Amino acid sequence: MSLRFGRSYLAIPGPSVIPDEVLQTMHRASPNIYEGELIETTESLFPDLKYVAQTTQNVAIYIANGHGAWEAALANMAEAGDTLLIIATGRFGHGWAEMADRLGLQTEIIDFGLKAPLEAGRIEEALRRDKDHKIKAVLTTHVDTSTSVKNDVASVRAALDACNHPAVLAADCIASLGCDDFQMDAWGVDVMVAGCQKGLMVPAGLSFVYFSDKAKEAQKTLSRVSSYWDWLPRIEPEGYYQYFCGTAPTHHIYGLRQALDMIKAEGLNNVFARHRSLAEALWAAIDCWGSDGGTMRMNITDPAHRSCAVTALSLNKPDATRLRRWTEHNAGLTLGIGLGMNSEDDPNADGFFRIGHMGHVNAHTIMGLIGTIDAGLKSLGIKHGAGASEAAAVKIASALL
Ligand SMILES: *Cc1c(COP(=O)(O)O)cnc(C)c1O
């Protein structure tokens, strides 16, 4: 027998749960791409994308996933031979650095390991050593989806300002946009990359490069910029096709329009508060499972440094993989793999997994997830403390007081 038949739940850190409203609005005939409604709908996206990132500056849209946004951002920030300072707090920082290497950029990486947030003091030291201002850009990850650490991006701006360093500050918000508070303008971020398939609840296919007026000016000093990735025509097109350098992503435009309407109707601060309350309920459950000799451990111990969109955690290997398989095959709940957590002792990261709790999730989705993991632990005989659902329920009840 299996208990998986019914609506499945993909609880991985992207792609996230797609609201029915988004799917339904995408289920339609192709619109005219030369005039009419599609053009207006496209233009309506820009102010709302800026609202979500708390910026009044610029945003370009690409038909791409997050990796495409990484490449687009690099193409507009630097050219072969330029130096970038890259802050790694998990797999994704290294991923962006590898892409920069392949473009012929010089990368200097400051690695904070797999369990800790960035520390601005070390970044400031590196910037002070760069007396000739060779570093063109500092690349950070707001939330690293592999470790689930959340970084203080504003502290990197403070480090740049403290030594009057002119480099642009770039942030990867692919996992955090629309989940964790991110204030592009207030925090002095020049370039920000995001995708539509995480906090923005749309199937993968669109990504965004936000850029400050300063980054826009800096781009003009490059000797050349790839015509496909160039962000300028995408914000100041002479013809509609230039928004996307070709055919518009027609159905994604409708899906994103719907998702942004849902975010606006809820209110951005309420969206953040919902993610925080649900994350706290989940963390309370995980603390219970890890008590009384239970082996479950959160990767990031300090709640102040945790993302509210994804939680990375461990069990004794291979219990994480056994649990993932159990919840998927028996209960219709898919948990995320332990990404970038391979070690000599655990070459396939069978002791790590991740829970995505981003986007279209509410109290009952998270309570269902907690109850399902609890059943899996029991069925598999994985030692765990009691009271997880109870502790989560108390958190949810108190969040609504
Ligand atoms: C998901 C993610 C990416 C990669 O996005 P893709 O759409 O898979 O290319 C990059 N950075 C972060 C922080 C992410 O969460």
CA atoms within 13 A on the CB side of 254: 17
Task: State whether the beta carbon of 336 lies less than 6 angstroms from ligand 1.
Answer: no
Kindly tell me if the per-residue pLDDT of 89 is higher than 90. yes
Residues 334-371: tens digit of each pLDDT: 999 999 999 999 999 999 999 999 999 999 999 999 99
What CA–CA distances, in Å, run from 183 to 14, 133, 191, 221, 368? 22, 26, 12, 27, 32
The whole-angstrom separation of Cα 367 and Cα 116 is: 28
Check whether 401 has a pLDDT greater than 90: no
- What pLDDT was estimated at residue 94? 98
Atom number of ligand 1 nearest to Cα 173: 13
Write out the two tokens for 142: 């707001």
Domain 31-264: which CATH number of 3.90.850.10, 1.20.150.20, 3.30.70.141, 3.40.640.10: 3.40.640.10
264 has a pLDDT exceeding 90: yes
145 lines ligand 1 (CB under 6 A): yes
Q: Where are the CATH 3.40.640.10 domain residues in the chain? A: 31-264
Give the residue whose CA is nearest to atom 15 of ligand 1. Answer: 175
Q: Cα(381) to centroid of ligand 1, in Å?
A: 34
Q: Mean pLDDT across the stretch 243-257?
A: 98
CATH 3.90.1150.10 domain range(s) in the chain:
9-16+268-399
Q: Cα(278) to centroid of ligand 1, in Å? A: 22
Tokens matching residue 110: 């400051």
Across 213-223, average pLDDT: 97
Which structure tokens are listed for 240? 């509609």
Answer yes or no: are the C-beta atoms of 163 and 122 closer than 8 Å.
no
The CATH homologous superfamily to which domain 9-16+268-399 belongs is Aspartate Aminotransferase, domain 1 (3.90.1150.10)
CB of 175 shorter than 6 A to ligand 1: yes
Task: Find out whether the beta carbon of 67 lies less than 6 Å from any atom of ligand 1.
Answer: yes
What spacing in Å lies between the alpha carbon of 307 and ligand 1's midpoint?
15
Tell me if 171 CB under 6 Å of ligand 1: no
Neighbours of 7 (CB within 10 A): 6
Task: Give pLDDT tens digits for 378-391.
Answer: 999 999 999 999 99
Residue 118's nearest CA partner among 161, 79, 158 is 158
Query: Is residue 280 lining ligand 1, measured as CB closer than 6 Å?
Result: no
